[in-house]
Amino acid sequence: MKIWIDADAAPRDVKEIVFRAAKRLEIDTILVANQRLALPLNNAFVRQVQVRDGADVADRHIAEEAREGDLAITADIPLAAILVEKGIVVMDPRGEEYSAENVRQRLSIRDFMESLRDQGVDTGGPKAYGAGDKRAFAATFDRLLTAMRRDAGL
C-alpha cells in the first residue's frame, strides 16, 4: 500500500496530515510534482518524484505507477476517474471520496464548467481552503486508511 499525492496544488495542511500518518503507520508516501517540494525531516516514508514541466505530466506518472490497494489524493477529476477505474482508492483534499458513480458525475460537471469558461463565462473559482475542509479531509483520510489497512490485514 502506498499513498500518492498529486502535490503541485495540494494544500500544506493535507500534506502535513499525510506526513504524520505515513510516519506513524509506516506507509510509503510519494508526492508527485513538477517542482521541488519541501519534505518533512526524519520521515523515511515520504519521498518526492519530480517530473518534467508540462501539462498533466504528474497526473500521467501517478496513473502509470499507482496500483490497486493504493490511496491517491488529487483534486484533478480526470486523474481521479482514471485511478478509480484502476481500482485505486481516491479522495480529494476537501475530503470527498471518489467512486465509480460520483467521479463520472464530477467529470461531467467539470467538462460543462470548462465549456462555459471557453465561451467567456466567469464561473468563479473554488472557494478558499479552510478549517472545515481540513477537518473533512482528515476524517475521510482516517476512515479510508483504517479500512484499507484492515482489508490488507495490517
pLDDT band at 108 (very low <50, low <70, confident <90, very high): low
| Mean pLDDT for the stretch of residues 119-123 | 73
Query: Buried (b) or exposed (e) across 39-61, using 16+ Cβ within 10 A?
Result: ebeeeebbebeebeeeeeebbeb
Split into its structural domains, the chain has a count of 1
pLDDT above 80 (res 94): yes
pTM, two decimals, is 0.86
114: domain CATH number is: 3.40.50
Domain with 85 in it: 2-151
